[in-house]
Amino acid sequence: MSDHGTVTRSDRVTVPSPGCLVAIMAPILAVLLVASVLMVMNYRQESANDRNEQEALRKTFTQARSYANDVLAKGPDDYPGREAVRDIAERYDGRLISYVRSGGSLATTVRFFAEFEDTSMFGVSYSRAHRCYAFEFQRDAEGGLQEKTTPLEKCDVA
């Protein structure tokens, strides 16, 4: 009681018991732990997927080299026709996009693909990495064939 006969209320600071703090903090810490584990797993899966895709793109470069070598071997005297070039492209998982033969040169555009594993938390799926290459075949001064390969950023599919 106060000096004037009224009841006063004292402001007491209450401290929660340790058991109550554990009951509050344990679920929060569990959620944070699960979230951090999922974030690390996602990062590792994305890194693995990027590596797999880069490996598939390197495979398309190997396919492009093999295609160019086969076209050069097919036509030492003259350039192969459209069907022969299409068959060579399909042999290396490619699709002939364009074929232009003019004068002493042959220009082709081929779209190659390679499959790779794409993993997620829900399982593994298979994706395709595509890359287009422009090839230019020309006769050199000695009459032999020369080839120039250029990877393309975009592939205009007709």
**Domain extents for the chain?**
18-152
User: Can you give the pLDDT at residue 80?
Assistant: 87
Taking 90 as the threshold, does the pLDDT of residue 139 lie above it?
no
User: Can you give the pLDDT at residue 3?
Assistant: 62
Residue, of 126 and 144, whose pLDDT is higher: 126
According to the per-residue pLDDT averaged within each range, which of 67-76, 95-104, 137-146 is highest? 95-104
Give the separation between CA 59 and CA 101, rounded to whole angstroms: 27
Query: 89-93, 104-108, 140-144: which has the minimum mean pLDDT?
Result: 140-144
Percent above pLDDT 90 for the chain: 57
Query: Average pLDDT in the 22-41 region?
Result: 92
Query: Average pLDDT in the 98-115 region?
Result: 92
Question: pLDDT digits over 68-87, tens only?
Answer: 999 988 866 778 889 999 99
| Residues 6+ away with beta carbon under 8 Å from 93 | 63, 112, 113, 114
Query: Average pLDDT in the 116-136 region?
Result: 91
- Helices 82-91/18-74 angle, 10° precision: 140
Looking at every residue in the chain, the average pLDDT score rounds to: 87
The pTM assigned to this predicted structure is 0.73
Question: pLDDT digits over 51-62, tens only?
Answer: 999 999 999 999
User: Can you give the pLDDT at residue 157?
Assistant: 59
Q: H or E stretch including 146?
A: strand 145-152
